Structure 1
Amino acid sequence: MEKDRLYYLGLDMGRSSVKATSVRAKTGEKLLVLYKTMEEMPITTLQKDGGNKIQILGGPM
């Protein structure tokens, strides 16, 4: 495949925002940048100590 037809896609999914960027591999030119903020999400974890339990950190779901 020709290098001028290659693109990179970057994704960043955090607790309070999602970001996506598309970049042309040959030149580094940004083709698309998307950014969406939202209410901060709680962190959940699965614990295996005799059964599956969900521990809520950072507030109610």
Structure 2
Amino acid sequence: MVPLLLVLLLALLLFGAGFALKALWWIAVIVLVFWLLGFVVRTTGAGGSRGRWYRW
């Protein structure tokens, strides 16, 4: 009975990890899209030149 429970627990962990990794991939794609859009829609500065779109 214990080996069966261990196998079921392992399957549950692997399923959870697979779902989490898939969700992280979608989040990474969304962040990448926003990052690329930041280059396109950045505002112009006082001198007319395009400034940095991030605030580091």
TM-score tier, shorter chain, comes to under 0.3
TM (norm. structure 1) is 0.24
Higher RCO, 1 vs 2 (CA within 8 Å, ≥6 residues apart): 1
Higher helix share: 2
Higher strand share: 1
